[in-house]
Structure 1
Amino acid sequence: MNLLKALATISSMTFLSRVLGLGREILIANVFGAGMMTDAFNVAFRLPNLLRRLFAEGAFSQAFVPILSEYKSKRSPDEAHTLVNRVATLLGVIVMLVTVAGVIGTPLLIYATAGGFSAHPEKFALTVELTRITFPYIFFMAMVALASGVLNTWNHFSIPAFTPVLLNVSMIAAALLGRDYFATPVEALAWGTFIGGVLQLAIQIPAMARVGMLPRFDLHFRDPGVMRILKLMAPATIGVSVAQISLLINTAFASWLPTGSISWLSYADRLMEFPSGMLGVALGTILLPSLSKLNSSGNKAEFSAMLDWGLRLALLLTLPAALGMCILAVPLTSTLFQHGAFAAPDVLQTSRALVAYSVGLAGIILVKILAPAFYSRQDIRTPLRFAIISLVATQAMNALFVWQLGLAHAGLALSIGLAATLNAGLLYYGLRRKDAFTPRAGWPVFLGKLAIALCVMGLVLWFAMGQATTWTQITTAKRVIWLAGLMVAAALSYFVTLFALGFRPADFKRGGVH
């Protein structure tokens, strides 16, 4: 398996998903703007999305994949299938109970996570209604996470990477075709989320059958493999999802800020998810099974070399994305979102959040690469400690940035990025201290060349983008042409400089573990 080819496959699928997700956000901004309805939907969607990342894609995947990889490598196919059966059954039962409890207790959840809405009864009631529609999404996605873990372990990356596309297609169709059928048009988005969850689960079933791992009901609480996964999941629930916990707490903070704050953060977050998903999630997805197999075989040198490859590739591609987002925050936001109900003031407020997010983008992506190195070693407690430190730091920075320095919603975005950078630094320190990772030679020269290329790219963008206020006043067609030219200029200046400094694509080609 060629890891660079696998990364390209996952990244291309993720790119398609992110493009459709961006199209979804552009459509929402055009139809609903940034106000009460979008604030209510963003809170309603964030709750099940948070639980999905906590219990399904996050903690579950990081605990499940290393154990399953061990079963696949060292045990018979029947034993591996039995493990899948029992994990799927227990996960399904637990998440179904959580879903029912969430639907019943929705008002309490909204009080806890968006208490500021209680001062606006209409807004609060709408949020409760939308949350009850979207909450079953967590059940569908828990099953999707299990299927994706199995397929990734069997080196089938394309279907799991394509799956999120279906959610975006469903929500776009619901917004375009369904909004006229509801007294409150934004309800169409909630039902689009529900249907998207069903579609994402449905596409996994044939793929699971093809690898012979389609699960059957088998409730067995004391299976040794299941117990090991549960033991790993407990600390991983916090450790792998600290950014999501911070995001939920930030939503509570933002609910007390002016109306539109949650929506501005959400639109900026959508742009940040482009590089985060295409690089961080994709690299983490392909590295976890390979690192798990290398750890099981005791190949320490190759384990370290593979992680070094992932870190270099991540920095090579993440740093220019972060710099571009920072400099082009207003051009990006105005070009993509300034239509219909989304006005110039919304552009400026969203771009402030985007600049703040860009500061910590490298940290956010590096966490997704460094944390799997621990999980592949079945070490959950070390990243848990670092995650708790980062979570506390996030809230301390929230108090400083939002209330003391008056940065409002941009301060919330900045605290997440800086805390992720702190988390990445601690994870790197932890791997070195445990002698689990030894960087290969040449890092100072590598970073120096990146710095030169980034300076060239930054100067090109700075002088070519013009005044920020101009972008909110020109036509959409001019914005699109101008932004496209800037992005081409940025890519050419960065990669041509790197090429002149000796970088070659073949340097980053790497084989994986079968």
Structure 2
Amino acid sequence: MSDSQSIKSRSLLRSGLLVSLCTFASRILGLARDAALAFVLGASAGADAFYVAFKIPNFFRRLFAEGAFAQAFVPVLSDYRVNEGHDAVRELIAAVTGSLSLVLLAVTAVFMAASPWVVYVFAPGFADNPGQLALASSLLTITFPYLLFISLTALAGGILNAHGEYGVPAITPIFLNISLLVATLGFATSASQAELSIAWGVFAAGLVQLLFQVPFLARLKLLPRPTVGFSHPGVKRILLLMGPALFGVSVGQINLLLDTVLASLLETGSITWLYLSDRLYELPLGIFAIAISTVILPSLSRSHSSQSGERFADTLDWGLRLLLLIAVPSALALCILAKPIIATVFYRGELTAYDVEMAAMSLQAYSIGLVFMMLIKVLAPGYYSRQDTKTPVKIGLIAMVANMVFNLILVWPFGHVGLALATSLSAALNALLLWIGLHRDGSHRFSKEWWLLLRVLLLGSALLLAWLWFYDSLNIVWTEISSWQRVQHMLLVVCVGVLVYGLGLLLAGLRMRHLRAQD
């Protein structure tokens, strides 16, 4: 590898670590937020109603803002940076901001006006409980404007990421967690209807996150003066890329929402159990996979724009190897420690031991597919950075159909656990097909570092499994010990697990230079 490529690889590693650290802080606060929600709401009908009202704008956020829009906008913006210059970049940002804002205002108004029908579509099981349906509809009218705010926040974050400012967008989600913590513990505990107070916390969080990014855009002299510019060439390119991308990188989110639809037909609490387990497997997914994806997308886009195929393949290979070092132990830990983790984070207040048991079962099912879910986050940018949206669309449709088939096969014998397992199986299919396409056209090739990776993964995972199985054999009844004892036990098992796994990597020959450069 050349000196410039080695420097670039070190820069990517540093950026990845920065995003991971910021995201880690946000996710820890996110767990505190979800623990507070479980404490106040439990797994009641009201809790299910809130989670549906919270999931709907979040679904569209991930589908449009962080999914299709981000994957279409960043490559086009990177191309303008490389080939057009600063003034053209400012013009593009102004046109995108104005056009996106207009569309978002219209969508938000329609969904708020039609909230009862929207809830019925996404949670048809609520029709059997008119009070629950009415509550979810009221909550959705409050939470849906969050989509407007957070989509513009994602636009600002994409601009900052494309200019090498990774930390600010990674810090921004912290404000959602802080806002919900304040709303839940500061207002909901004394409110006549706790769900309404928490919904207003969602609204406030979106506004605060958007305002937080404004000064940093101004510092880069990229604070937009919005103009409606659907005829702008760059906007047209983004729109052309966005359409197919809706079914590409965001297939996982569509599958999760379909799970919510089916879960609403199951016993009360199923939506909450899936939400709690989803939040925990999203922790490594968000901290590491999305961090690596965030960092490599602009780099892959620049490599494609400058027609550097070798650098493109090396960057993608680096991202996959780095991700697997984290994904494999994360999946093993979540599977074996599912019940202890659920109990430690959520078991207090209105949540019962039965809820812990049910949520732990779905977490184990999700853990089976965690590696594949994380791989998708790195493989998908390999297509979108080249402005290829057709291939992920085809793969996404195949995975989505497969997920529905798996859902229908597994939901009746296994309930909510079957829904989680179906998500894992479809994620495996999605990741495999994405990789086959990249490998076939030469966009990814295995470097010689993979032999080292396999060796260190084998030893590190074996030592980690030995430790986890030993601790599990102690037969601690996690729901019968105090919260502080649960925290102490979990800190011990996690810290020792990290040390044991890290020792295994070192003994097998892994060194820092293997993470930042390819020979």
Q: TM-score range by the shorter chain?
A: over 0.9
How much has 1:142 moved relative to structure 2?
Answer: 1.1
**Contact 2:142/2:199, CA 8 A, preserved across alignment:** yes
Q: Indicate whether 1:464 and 2:471 are aligned.
A: yes
State which of 188, 191, 206 in structure 1 corresponds to 2:197.
Answer: 188
Q: Indicate whether 1:161 and 2:175 are aligned.
A: no
The match for 1:150 is 159
State which of 245, 265, 274 in structure 1 corresponds to 2:283.
Answer: 274
The match for 1:483 is 490
Distance in 2 (alpha carbons) for counterparts of 1:199 and 1:463:
46
**Contact 2:179/2:204, CA 8 A, preserved across alignment:** yes
Q: Indicate whether 1:171 and 2:188 are aligned.
A: no
The match for 1:507 is 514
Structure 1 unmatched runs, 5+: none
**Contact 1:66/1:292, CA 8 A, preserved across alignment:** yes
Gap change, CA 1:467 and 1:313, over 3 Å in 2:
same
Residues 164-204 of structure 1 deviation map (CA, whole Å, 9 limit, x = unaligned): 00011001001112225643111111000000000000011
Name which of structure 1's ranges 112-121 and 483-492 shifts more when overlaid on structure 2: 483-492
The match for 2:224 is 215
State which of 57, 63, 74 in structure 2 corresponds to 1:65.
Answer: 74
Amino acid at match of 1:243: G
Gap change, CA 1:304 and 1:44, over 3 Å in 2:
same
**Contact 1:331/1:468, CA 8 A, preserved across alignment:** no
The match for 1:283 is 292
Distance in 1 (alpha carbons) for counterparts of 2:433 and 2:474:
39
Three-state SS of the structure 1 residue aligned to 2:246 is helix
The match for 2:48 is 39
Amino acid at match of 1:506: R
Q: Indicate whether 1:474 and 2:488 are aligned.
A: no
How much has 1:16 moved relative to structure 2?
Answer: 0.9
Q: Indicate whether 1:292 and 2:301 are aligned.
A: yes
Three-state SS of the structure 1 residue aligned to 2:380 is helix
Q: How does 1:107-506 map to 2 (within 5 A)?
A: 107-179=116-188, 182-403=191-412, 406-466=413-473, 470-506=477-513
State which of 87, 93, 97 in structure 2 corresponds to 1:84.
Answer: 93
Name which of structure 1's ranges 28-37 and 356-365 shifts more when overlaid on structure 2: 28-37
**Contact 1:295/1:303, CA 8 A, preserved across alignment:** yes
**Contact 1:106/1:128, CA 8 A, preserved across alignment:** yes
Three-state SS of the structure 2 residue aligned to 1:239 is coil
Amino acid at match of 1:319: V
**Contact 2:247/2:392, CA 8 A, preserved across alignment:** no
Distance in 1 (alpha carbons) for counterparts of 2:127 and 2:260:
14
**Contact 1:398/1:411, CA 8 A, preserved across alignment:** yes
Aligned residue pairs, count:
509
Structure 1 runs (4+) deviating above 3 angstroms are 466-469
Structure 2 unmatched runs, 5+: 1-7
Distance in 2 (alpha carbons) for counterparts of 1:468 and 1:346:
19
Three-state SS of the structure 2 residue aligned to 1:57 is helix
The RMSD of aligned alpha carbons is: 1.3
**Contact 2:188/2:197, CA 8 A, preserved across alignment:** yes
Gap change, CA 1:346 and 1:469, over 3 Å in 2:
farther
Amino acid at match of 1:278: I
Distance in 1 (alpha carbons) for counterparts of 2:162 and 2:19:
14
How much has 1:469 moved relative to structure 2?
Answer: 6.4
Distance in 2 (alpha carbons) for counterparts of 1:484 and 1:336:
12
Distance in 2 (alpha carbons) for counterparts of 1:41 and 1:510:
46
Gap change, CA 1:373 and 1:93, over 3 Å in 2:
same
Amino acid at match of 2:176: L
Distance in 2 (alpha carbons) for counterparts of 1:205 and 1:305:
34
Distance in 2 (alpha carbons) for counterparts of 1:468 and 1:86:
60
How much has 1:439 moved relative to structure 2?
Answer: 1.5
How much has 1:320 moved relative to structure 2?
Answer: 0.3
Distance in 1 (alpha carbons) for counterparts of 2:516 and 2:28:
26
State which of 11, 14, 17 in structure 2 corresponds to 1:8.
Answer: 17
